[in-house]
Amino acid sequence: MLKWIKSMFSAEGDVSYKRVGSFLALLTCLVIAYVSTFTIYICPEFIYDGLLILSGAGMGFTAVENVSKVFGKPKQDGQSEQ
């Protein structure tokens, strides 16, 4: 588990602040959902929705960035176009 968390926070040795921020927003949403479910405190819906959108967008942007790196590489000799 610890190895997975380390790999999530680093990409080729660099810290990805998008992933860290997205993970923290998701963690905050989970805490808010827990508190709202089992206590009398209620979180405003717009705060919860905003954090979920931030979390999803941050992780989605990172995924798109990684995919674009794969398809953006120049073709090596011997590879034919499909």
Domain boundaries, the chain: 24-64
Q: Which residues of the chain have pLDDT under 50?
A: none
Q: pTM for the whole thing?
A: 0.60
Q: What is the pLDDT, as a whole number, of residue 1?
A: 66
Q: Which residues contact 22 (CB under 8 A, 6 or more apart)?
A: 54, 55, 56, 57, 58, 59, 62
Q: What is the pLDDT, as a whole number, of residue 77?
A: 58
Q: What is the pLDDT, as a whole number, of residue 82?
A: 52
Q: What is the pLDDT, as a whole number, of residue 80?
A: 54
